Amino acid sequence: MPPRLALHQISKSYPAVRANDAVDLTVEAGEIHAVLGENGAGKSTLMKIIYGVVRPDSGTVQWNGADVHIANPAAARALGLGMVFQHFSLFDTLTVVENIALGLSPDIDLQELAGRIADTAHQYGLDVEPHRHVHTLSVGERQRVEIVRALLGKPKLLILDEPTSVLTPQAVQRLFQVLRQLAEEGCSILYISHKLDEIRSLCHRCTVMRAGRVTGICDPRQETDASLSRMMIGADLPVQQRQVREAGPVLLQVRHLDLPQAHPFATALSQLSFDLHAGEILGIAGVSGNGQQELMGVLSGEDRRVARDTIILDGQPIGRQSSAWRRTQGLAFVPEERLGRGAVPELSLARNLLLSHQGADTIRHGWIRTGVVQRITSEIIQRFHVKASGPHALAGSLSGGNLQKFIVGREVVRQPRLLLIAQPTWGVDVGAAAQIHGELLALRDAGCAILLISEELDELLELSDRLLVMSKGRLSPPVTREQANREQIGQWMSGLWPGADADVVHSAQESVHA
């Protein structure tokens, strides 16, 4: 039988970069095929060409042995293709069911569709509430919506671009079971991920790309993480030297913090208390949507509906202070959402720098010092290996991983006293993730207090000095890095920690049993 999908000599150029350079790719029926490469290697562009979002400059696409011209995503879906994008394509002001209905027949019954969504979500172990507005969802919850939307179409070829970047280990294993089942039923899967252990565990073949070209094809099950890394980046990964050091004085205190729901689907925060020391990384684990987003909003100053003395920074009560004021006191913030909150896609990188760099070095007497802004932006691009044409490149033109490197770099170079950072390596390749980890450890060693929220347990266990777990708007007791283990943290994610509220424990036990 002919392959399900065959690309021949696909090329695509933009004004500043050749994204794909004579790429060949073959995917068989029922095959789980990985595409591996650094940020900016051309993976996402290639997937958009397959799905009809982008048209190639040259080359041919064959579907089941016949030449096809996929003009748009509707044509791709008609053929039997489904895709989960790394950057979500959801309208914030619409509900989940309304978003999914946009790609279907205009006379679709929304109530019937909501039932199908709920059934599919339940079947695959992906919690999705059909009638929730998208703007109330965390990044992890939005990713579940995208996956369910793709699965609803019963695709013959499913393209997944970083599908597990903000899923918990348990959800990842459930998703892998689904993907293996789909492959056994004949569905082909194109799987883009920077997580080498996932590729080795799940995929049958792997195409490696570098700078827009295919540099190799292998069976990942016969490779190691080290050998895949060398194929991808051309070198071994740097080894992080983590120094054991004593933390400094308490810089941030949270005391009995309560926060009511901002909307019916928000998570209320209840009696949160913790200390964060200078020179310490405090990690917070938990399933997406359990209050992490609300906690970051309160600490960053975006949400000031808390008592003044529930948040104390260096001895000062700051619960009602604005985010701008907190930045003047040395606070830096990397949100989990890159586009829309972390960066404005329609603005250049230099203009995006000004979202957090508004001191005397960049603005003087009300005038922007353009030369200084461009110099700082260029230094970030160089230091963090951001693949961009320069300071004038639009944020929306960067790949997800490169934009993440820029946003992290923008905050790191400010040399903050306190850094709030969520999902720091979401969609970032292994080399860039190692660099970001190194930068965070260097900040910590320089005395910065870092609050790290991540759904990557390995990342938390590698970086954190102490760990907390968040469940249903509550925090577990702290554990040191040496005391923490994956089994314990996984259990605590359901709220089952010593001393937890009896009602919460009972609810968690019922959820686990279900």
The ranges assigned to domains in the chain are: 5-233, 244-323+416-514, 331-415
What gap in Å lies between CA 439 and CA 179, rounded to an integer?
Answer: 35
> What's the whole-number average pLDDT of the chain?
88
Residue 244 tokens read as 């054991």
- The closest alpha carbon to 488, from 95, 454, 479, belongs to 479
Give the model confidence (pLDDT) of 285-331 as tens digits.
988 789 999 999 999 999 999 999 999 999 999 999 999 999 999 99
Q: For the CA atoms of 242, 244, 247, 253, what is the dihedral angle to 10 degrees?
A: 50
What does the pLDDT read at residue 168? Answer: 65
Task: List, edge to edge, every strand of the sheet that includes 58-63.
Answer: 17-27, 5-14, 58-63, 66-68
Mean pLDDT, rounded, for 402-413: 94
Contact predicate 472/290, CB 8 Å: yes
Find the distance separating the first CA and the last CA of the chain, reported in whole Å: 43
pLDDT at 167 over 70: no
Backbone angles phi, psi at 314, to 5 degrees: 50, 40
What gap in Å lies between CA 212 and CA 218, rounded to an integer?
Answer: 18
What does the pLDDT read at residue 282? Answer: 97
SS (H, E, C) 260-324: CCCCCCCCCEEEEEEEEECCCEEEEECCCCCCHHHHHHHHHCCCCCCCHHHEEECCEECCCCCHH
What does the pLDDT read at residue 501? Answer: 64
pLDDT at 198 over 80: yes
pLDDT at 109 over 50: yes
Could you tell me the pLDDT band of residue 153, with boundaries at 50, 70 and 90? confident
| Beta-bridge partners for 466 | 282, 480
Mean pLDDT, rounded, for 150-164: 87
Residue 359 tokens read as 């001191």
Mean pLDDT, rounded, for 471-497: 88
Residue 238 tokens read as 């740097």
What does the pLDDT read at residue 506? Answer: 46
What does the pLDDT read at residue 237? Answer: 66
What gap in Å lies between CA 161 and CA 8, rounded to an integer?
Answer: 21
Residues of the chain with pLDDT > 90, as a percent, come to 58
Could you tell me the pLDDT band of residue 85, with boundaries at 50, 70 and 90? confident
Q: What amino acid is encoded at 165 in this protein? A: S
Of the candidate ranges 171-180, 191-200, 244-253, 402-411, the one whose mean pLDDT is the lowest: 171-180
- Cα 259 to Cα 299, 385, 475: the distances in Å are 12, 39, 13
Class of 244-323+416-514 per CATH?
A: alpha beta
Using the 8-state DSSP alphabet, how is residue 452 labeled?
Answer: E
Give the model confidence (pLDDT) of 432-443 as tens digits.
888 899 999 999
Mean pLDDT, rounded, for 80-97: 86
Mean pLDDT, rounded, for 380-387: 92
Give the model confidence (pLDDT) of 343-352 as tens digits.
999 999 999 9
Helices (H), 102-206: 110-123, 139-152, 169-184, 196-202
Mean pLDDT, rounded, for 195-204: 90
- The closest alpha carbon to 494, from 485, 505, 483, belongs to 505
Could you tell me the pLDDT band of residue 238, with boundaries at 50, 70 and 90? low
Could you tell me the pLDDT band of residue 469, with boundaries at 50, 70 and 90? very high
CATH of 331-415, one of 3.10.450.200, 3.40.50.300, 3.40.640.10, 1.10.10.10: 3.40.50.300
What does the pLDDT read at residue 311? Answer: 97
pLDDT at 241 over 80: no
Give the model confidence (pLDDT) of 213-236 as tens digits.
998 899 999 998 888 888 887 777
Highest mean pLDDT among 125-139, 163-177, 181-195: 181-195
Strand 466-471 to 474-475 pairing: antiparallel
Could you tell me the pLDDT band of residue 240, with boundaries at 50, 70 and 90? low
- Architecture in CATH for domain 5-233: 3-Layer(aba) Sandwich (3.40)
What does the pLDDT read at residue 426? Answer: 80
What does the pLDDT read at residue 205? Answer: 95
Could you tell me the pLDDT band of residue 181, with boundaries at 50, 70 and 90? confident
